[in-house]
Every structure is written in C-alpha cells, then in structure tokens.
Amino acid sequence: MDELTRVLTQALAELIAPTTAAYALAAIGLNLHFGYTGLLNMGQAGFMLLGAYGFGIATIAGAPFWLAFLIAMAAGALFALILGLPTLTLRGDYLAIVTISAAEIIRMLGRSTVFQEWTGGASGLKGNQFKETFQALSPLPDGRMALGPLEYINTGSDSWWTRLFAWGLVLVAVLFVWLITRSPWGRVLRGIREDEDAVRALGKSVFSYKMQALVLGGVLGALAGLVFVLPRSIAPDGLGRTVTFFVWTVMLLGGAATLFGPVLGSMLFFAVYMLLRAGMRTGLEGVVSSTFVEQFGGLLVGVTLMILVIFRPQGILGNKRELAFNVR
Amino acid sequence: MSDDTTVTPEDVAVAEAAPAVHAIDPATDTVARTLASVEPRVGVSKPDTILVADGVQRRFGGMTAVDVEHLEVQRGAITALIGPNGAGKTTFFNLLTGFDKPNHGHWMFDGKPIAGMAAAKVAKSGMVRTFQLTKALSRLTVLDNMLLAARGNPGENLFGSLVKPLWARAERENTEKALEILARFKLDTKKDDFAGSLSGGQRKLLEMARALMTDPTMIMLDEPMAGVNPALVQSLLGHIQALRDEGMTVLFVEHDMHAVRHISDWVVVMAEGRVVAEGPPHSVMQDQAVVDAYLGAHHDTDLGDDALLDPAVLARLEAEEEKR
Ligand SMILES: Nc1ncnc2c1ncn2[C@@H]1O[C@H](COP(=O)(O)OP(=O)(O)OP(=O)(O)O)[C@@H](O)[C@H]1O
Ligand SMILES: [Mg+2]
C-alpha cells in the first residue's frame, strides 16, 4: 500500500514539476510553429539549449537576472532568424532538415573544447554557478513547505520558488499566445498553414509572418530552456534530440493548434510517464533492472506517439470537426 | 480541369433564358464601343491600358510554355483569355502575378513595372488572382477565409493584434462586407462551415468572393466557372459584369465559349504559348487562326457555334481532321 502511495505521489509531483513546465513552454512555442503556422521545427531542443546557455553564461559573466533572461530570449530570436532567413522561402521540409541539424550543431559546439571556457564542455555548467541571481529573487521565506503529499524547500534548486516561477511563465505564455492567435494576425498564420500561396495571392507577406512565428516560438523555446535548467545543471547532452521528440509528443498529445493543449499534454505526459516507470520499478523490483525500465519507458513514448498520430491526430483538445474532411 | 462539368445543350438553354446577363451591345456598352474601334490584330494597342506585357517568355526545359510578344489589356474591360489545354494561359497568369519567374520579359501594371515583384506585392498593388486548382483554406471557416482577405486590418500586425480594441471595428466592418459578398455567391448560409467541407464548385465561388474582398483594381480569374452549376454561372456572369460596371478590370481564363461570348468585351486567344488572335468576341471566334488552334486546320466552323456542343458534330469534325 505504501508503495502504491509513493508511486502515485511521484506521478502527482510530475504534474507541477519545473521540468513539466519547461516542456509545456517548449510545446507552446512549437505549437506556434507547427500548430498555427505549419512550420516543421525539428530542433526545439536547440532553441532550449541556446536559451539555457544564454542565461547561464550571461549570469556567470555578472548579468543581473532579468538581463540574463532577456539574453536568453535574444539567443532564441537570433537562432530563429538565422535558420529562417534561408529556409522560409523554401518548401516546408527544408526547415525541418535545417532545424534538426542546427540543433545538433549547437549541442556539438556546446560539448566541444573550443568554447569550454564558457560552456563548460561536455560536463556543462554546474547549477551553483548560475542560480544565485534567480534564487535571490525569491519572495518566499526560508524553510520548507508541504502541500498535501508534496513537500519542497521554499527557495533552492528543486523548490517551490522554481515551480512558482516556471508555471507563472507558462501562464504568461498561454495568455500571450491566446492574445495573438485569436486576432487577425493569428488568422493569417492559420491561413499560411493551410495554403501559403493562397495567402500570398491575397497580398500578405507570407515570409514575414512565418518569420514572426518562428521567432516567437523560438523565444518561447529558449525560455523553456532557461526553466529547464533552473533545477539542474546546463549539460548539452541533456537537451538533445530526445527532448525535441518529447516536445513533439507533448504538443500532439494535448492537441496542436489548441491553446491549452501543450500544457495539458505536458502534465499528462510526464505524470503517466512517471507512473509507468515508478510503477515498473516498484512492481517489478528484482525482475528487471532500472536501465531496462528507462529504456522500456522511452519505447512506450514512441509507441504512444505512433498510436496518437494514427488514432487521434487532433490530440486530446483538438477539434474533431476539423478533421472530418480530408486534410491534405 | 479536373472539376470541369460537361455542358449539355439543355444547360445552355437554361443559361440563355436567365435575365441577369446582358449580351454585349456596342451601342450601350461604352467599353465595348471603345474597343469596337480597335483593330482586331495581335499585339494591337488599346486606348486606355491597365496592363502592358512585352516579350514575356517562360520555358520549361526545352518547351516554351509562354511566349507573348506584346499584349495590352484595356482598363475597365472584361477580357477573356482562351486557348486549348496546355496553351500556357495559367502559366501566363502565374508570371503576371509573381507566382512564377519568366526567362525574359517585362510588364507594366497601372503604369508601374511589376515584373519580378513578389506575388504578395503584386496583389497588394491591386492585381489579384484566383487559381485554376482552387485553394480554399480548408481548416478555416468560410467567413475567416473572407476576413483573411480584407486589407489594412490593424490586427494583422503582431503588436496591433495584442490590443483588441484596435482592430475590433475593422473586423466588424469587414464581417459586414464579407457577408454581403458571400450572399451574392450564395455562400452566406455556409459562413461558419470549414472551407474544407465545401463542394468543388462552392470552393470556386469562395475563392472568387475572397479575391473580391481585397478590393482589387484588376481581378484575374483562372476558369472561374469550371464546376459551377449552369444556373449559378448565369448569375456569376452577371456579377462579373457588375464588377466591370463599377470600374474593375477583369481578365479571365475560360473554356466555356458561351460565357466568353456573353460577357467579354475583348478576347485574347493563346495557342502553344503565343497569342494567336485577339479581338471582339464575335469576330475572334470566326478567326481562322483560332479555329485552327482549337479544331485543327481547315474548318470553316465558328467556335461560338452551338453545334460544337453536340458530341456527334465534334466527332465528325475530329474524324475529318484525322483523315486529312
Ligand atoms: N511547372 C511546370 N513544369 C513543366 N511544365 C509545365 C509546368 N507548368 C506548366 N507546364 C507546361 O506548360 C504548358 C502550359 O501549361 P498551362 O498550365 O499554362 O496551360 P493552360 O493553358 O492553363 O491549360 P488548361 O486550359 O488545361 O488549364 C503545358 O504544356 C504544361 O505541361
Ligand atoms: Mg490553366
């Protein structure tokens, strides 16, 4: 019985974990790219890693928190501009290829010894090097706090303050995306997703809109990276292809082109993922190794994504009516 | 071409009976009267041109799809662009509207050179086109399709979009205008449906309605009647004439010769990329070069002849051509 409570508590904790918030943010960004505009960004982890580096390196260099925050955003925006300029005039598939390889390049550069002085190479930047400014910002009193079965320190790496900040940011992002996507601007994006030539024929500069979407989604990705590293160190391999793949799963699970889809998707994904792994670890203790559990968990994610795309392509919150007719 | 309907003589009879379209009468129609004094000769200059194209060439590999030496389009007139399949009409449209790049050539629209201009800018300058293969924005509602086309909405700017009061009024006015246009095209009851759920003909109508939403100076329609039912064709023709009467210039590609004959003030005929004839509708359809282009050489048939709608007559003509 105790074990069951422990497993359930672990899953519950995932619902509000900072990492869950980070994925939600990244998926909100990806949703702007893919859900609303139809852009195939296969390198969201690259944006996240750049955001994390931007924040970490700036902080270590002595920048105050909000300046480092802005630098992280700027890093994401710049990356989007560089990737978008040559590819957004081409067919959609090219952006996919360019983003997937660019994200890998960022990771490799992060690992390489050339920039080790700033990035810390493969071992990355330790948490205590860049978290002081963030934790100094905490309005919470010292000590610990329990909310139901969940108990954390108030201020620290894996703390209530980190959670508060991360989910606050998610809330702001959702509000922002709601404002821009309900507007005529959002309508142009959805038009581009359906058929960019038709939108061009109506006198809208498709390139400019795609670029705006890519930059905004990229900035959200960079902020997701910032949130992602608040409870851990900045390690290039922690933000690799798997992360991009998870972000896609999260977005498709919740429902592309829906406002709350990415948030719901992220919470559900990580809660269930944890339930499975913790459940297996506890239930099959001694039968299978913990590495097997991790690998099997990853495999299940892949299978889930496939089942999802085949049987419920609109995700949980998506509109069935939209798929009632043939989508090209 | 996929959604072309075959027109039977009965349909034409229905169309002929509807009152909406007034046949061109040079005595009352000022544009037609102006053009009546223009010599029907390829590349002839018109009294008041809105579009002038020079030496426009487009090759695909070794094949020359478009090779137009000189073409002028009269302002405020309905000009039909006809020609057999593969004549290069759509390619010519694509070039003019910036959707394709020519190997050679330049053209002026409204006195400004627009060759090489991006498609969106061409549209912004007032030359708006529709597509032969319709491009309905499937997962947008019919109304959203229309609203998307409206110009100058401050909410289409990223920063403007954040503040609803800035664009709420424009949106309201655009909605009113959109509903009015949709009603003309009998699509107002469909306004909340996804465009993807419309039938082929309805999509054609939506695309034309959407183009009108941009208030173009010149509208370019690529087979607007293809797949539209004959009774509606009749009222569409009426609308096109009304647009012309309001001062819009219309250039349209159409295979339905009756539509062409009824509403166009001027007809341009393309074959194998070149303009082979131009002139007022009645005379051009009797032009030998045109008949040759459509039916092969040596027929003394007028293309506007209803007899051509009869499969038996067509079969006989084809057989004759083969014997030659
Ligand atoms: N992208 C392309 N690549 C190669 N050839 C092309 C391309 N587009 C058009 N063509 C060729 O150019 C010629 C003209 O085509 P176009 O579509 O302009 O004809 P059209 O006059 O519009 O015919 P239709 O009445 O059937 O619509 C055709 O022979 C076609 O095969
Ligand atoms: Mg064509």
Residue A91's pLDDT is 83
**B162: which chain A residues are within 8 Å (Cβ-Cβ)?**
179-180, 183
- Return the percentage of chain B with pLDDT > 70, whole number: 85
Q: For position A83, which CATH number holds? A: 1.10.3470
Report whether B287 contacts B269 (CB < 8 A): yes
Is A242 part of any domain?
A: yes
pTM of the model: 0.89
Domain B9-136+198-323 has CATH 3.30.1330.200: no
Is A328 part of any domain?
A: no
Measure the CA angle with vertex A151, ends A150 and A152; round to 5°.
130
- Say if residue B12's pLDDT is above 50: no
**Number of domains comprising chain A:** 1
Residue A293 pairs with which residues in a beta bridge?
none
Q: How many CB atoms lie within 10 A of CB B238?
A: 18
Is A153 part of any domain?
A: yes
Summarised one tens digit per residue, pLDDT across range A166-212 is: 999 999 999 999 999 999 999 999 999 999 999 999 999 999 999 99
Summarised one tens digit per residue, pLDDT across range A282-311 is: 888 888 888 888 888 889 888 988 888 888
Region B182-202: mean pLDDT is 91
Q: Is the CB of B99 under 6 A from ligand 1?
A: no
Residue B43's pLDDT is 83
Phi and psi (nearest 5°) for A144?
-120, 165
Summarised one tens digit per residue, pLDDT across range A120-150 is: 998 999 988 999 999 999 999 999 999 989 9
Q: Which atom of ligand 1 is nearest the CA belonging to B132?
A: 27
Minimal CA separation from B141 to chain A, in Å: 10
Summarised one tens digit per residue, pLDDT across range B219-228 is: 999 999 888 8
pLDDT band at A313, cuts 50/70/90? Answer: confident
Q: What is the mean pLDDT of chain B?
A: 84
Region B64-72: mean pLDDT is 93
- A190 CB within 8 Å of a chain B CB: yes
Number of H helices, E strands in chain A: 15, 2
- Say if residue A1's pLDDT is above 80: no
Is A271 part of any domain?
A: yes
ipTM over the 0.85 cut-off: yes
Residue A320's pLDDT is 65
Is A318 part of any domain?
A: yes
**A193: which chain B residues are within 8 Å (Cβ-Cβ)?**
139
Contact criterion met (CB < 8 Å) for A200 and B149:
no
Summarised one tens digit per residue, pLDDT across range A220-278 is: 999 999 999 999 999 999 999 999 999 999 999 999 999 999 999 999 999 999 998 88
- If you write DSSP's letter for every residue of A147-192 in order, what string do you get? ETTEEEESSSTTBHHHHHHHHHHHHHHHHHHHHHHSSHHHHHHHHH
Residue A30 structural domain: 2-323
Which amino acid, residue B40? P
Phi and psi (nearest 5°) for B238?
-60, -40
DSSP state of B141: B
Residues 6 or more apart in contact with residue B99 via CB below 8 angstroms: A197, A200, A201, B93, B119, B129
Residue B324's pLDDT is 60
